[in-house]
Structures are given as structure tokens and as C-alpha cells.
Amino acid sequence: MTNPTAAMLVIGDEILSGRTRDSNMYYLAGELTRIGIRLCEVRVVADEHAAIVAGVNALRGAFDTVFTSGGIGPTHDDITADAIAAAFGVPITYRADAMDLLAKHYERQGLPFNEARQRMARIPDGAQLIENPVSTAPGFTLQNVHVMAGVPSIFQAMLASVLPGLTGGAPLLSQSLRVMRGEGEIAGDFAKLAAEFPELQLGSYPFNTNGVYGTNLVIRGTDAGMLDRAMTRLSAMFA
């Protein structure tokens, strides 16, 4: 596949402790698939400087685009912006335009623009801001890394403003067939079909509903005609 590649770095103790079930990874995966960008790897790390720096450096070197979520709020455990600056070896400063956005926001709300809130205007040098229509505090893009909030509604809003600027590929299409047979029964023929269509990905996902075994067979690819031909063969095999 020649589609553009992406990776995600999820930053958050709350995921690793089991307090919160991830939803941003699932959301991003669906959005990227829709526009033909292939999500190749996700890493989840704790709110720790060294772990964030190592994670972002490994991923930004290996994939076209990297998305991060989490750790850009006003509290002491929000250390993502500093870690990204360190990863790129650039200074981080209070940015005038971000200070201005936030000052106006808190003035409108009648809330003090205190030291903690001002921290959210600290942005690595050379970054572009990502708009936050939910709660103003911006994300930012530094080279191929998009740094976004962990709160799902804000993550989704930021992603909506980042995606149109990315070069996608042919959308990844998928078709699936539900068969009431175990994986072990269909595996041989399914592998032969996979070998016939090397440009497609064929995956099988077993299920067990109320004691009944079956398998969802999924074919993915970017060529709609080829997908149809493979699906016709598949249906004939297991009808």
C-alpha cells in the first residue's frame, strides 16, 4: 500500500491505570481510514517526560504523521508541550497569540486568567496553533506532529481542523461476510483467496454468540472493483 502512514501517541495515566477506557484511538482510527491514511501504530505512555519524548521521537521518524492526545491542560501533570519541545530540541515560550486568545476567553467568562491558565499558552517555537472551539486552549502542530487534547470532545474538534490539511490517499474500503463456521474450518480456503489477491487485506474475526460459533470475514483495500471480485469469490466459497 502506498497510502500515507500515521501513528498516535496517547499520553495518560488514566488509560494505563484502567480508570478510563480509550476512545480517542478508536475515533482517530475511523477518521483516518475514511480519508485513506493508514494508522500503523499506537503507543500509550504515562504522564512522564522521558516516556513522551522517546515515544514521539520514535513515531515521528517512522511515520508520515503523528497525532498525540492528552496532557495539554493547566495542571501540574500536563507536561506534553514541554516534552514535545524537548523531543524537537526547540525552546518553549508563552506565545503572544495564544495568550491573547486565552485572556479574552477568561475575560468573557469572568474568570481570572491565572498562572495555571497562562501555562496553556506555552507553545514550542515554530509550531502552528490548532483551534479549540470547545474550550479555547489551543493544540499545536510542530512539523509532522499534531498535539491535541485528551478530552474526547476537544480531541475530535481539533482533529476536524487538522484533517483537511493532510494529504490522504485512496480511502480504505471494506466489505464483510458473516459465516456461521469456525475460523479453523474456513482458514484454508480463505488463505488461498488472500494469496490470489495480494493487494487486499483479508482478516477473520471469530465470534461466539450464545454458544454459536461463527466468523466475520473482512476484506479491505482501496480498489473497489478488486474488492467486489474478491467478495464474489468469497461468497461463492462459503455460501
Please give the residues from 86 up to 145 whose contact with a second copy meets the rule CB under 8 A.
106, 111-112, 114-117, 119-120, 134-135
- Say whether residue 220 binds a second copy (CB under 8 A): yes
- Say whether residue 205 binds a second copy (CB under 8 A): yes
Handedness of CA 223, 225, 231, 233 (dihedral sign): negative
Minimum distance of a second copy from residue 139's CB (angstroms): 15
**Contact yes or no for 101/131 (Cβ under 8 A):** no
Query: Nearer to a second copy by C-beta: 91 or 115?
Result: 115
**Contact yes or no for 146/37 (Cβ under 8 A):** no
Minimum distance of a second copy from residue 188's CB (angstroms): 5
The DSSP call for residue 165 is: G
Q: In this chain, which stretch among 85-93, 121-129, 155-163, 206-214 interacts with a second copy, using CB under 8 A?
A: 206-214
Query: Nearer to a second copy by C-beta: 2 or 17?
Result: 17
Q: Tell me the C-alpha distance between 131 and 161, whole Å.
A: 7
- Say whether residue 148 binds a second copy (CB under 8 A): no
**What is the SS3 assignment for 184-197?**
HHHHHHHHHHHHHC
Minimum distance of a second copy from residue 212's CB (angstroms): 13
Q: In this chain, which stretch among 24-32, 122-130, 139-147, 155-163 interacts with a second copy, using CB under 8 A?
A: 24-32
Residues 35-74 that bind a second copy (CB under 8 A): 38-47, 51, 73-74
Give residues with Cβ within 8 angstroms of 145, minimum separation 6.
56, 60, 65, 66, 67, 68, 84
- Say whether residue 75 binds a second copy (CB under 8 A): yes
Query: Nearer to a second copy by C-beta: 125 or 199?
Result: 199
The C-alpha cell of 237 is what?
466459497
The C-alpha cell of 186 is what?
474456513
Q: Tell me the C-alpha distance between 110 and 106, whole Å.
A: 6
Among 126, 133, 165, 182, binds a second copy (CB under 8 A): 182
Q: Tell me the C-alpha distance between 63 and 75, whole Å.
A: 30
Number of residues that bind a second copy (CB under 8 A): 72
Q: In this chain, which stretch among 85-93, 125-133, 193-201, 223-231 interacts with a second copy, using CB under 8 A?
A: 193-201
Q: Tell me the C-alpha distance between 215 and 237, whole Å.
A: 14
Query: Nearer to a second copy by C-beta: 112 or 126?
Result: 112
Q: In this chain, which stretch among 91-99, 163-171, 190-198, 224-232 interacts with a second copy, using CB under 8 A?
A: 190-198
Angstrom CA distances, 204 to 189, 210, 218, stand at: 12, 19, 6
- Say whether residue 29 binds a second copy (CB under 8 A): yes
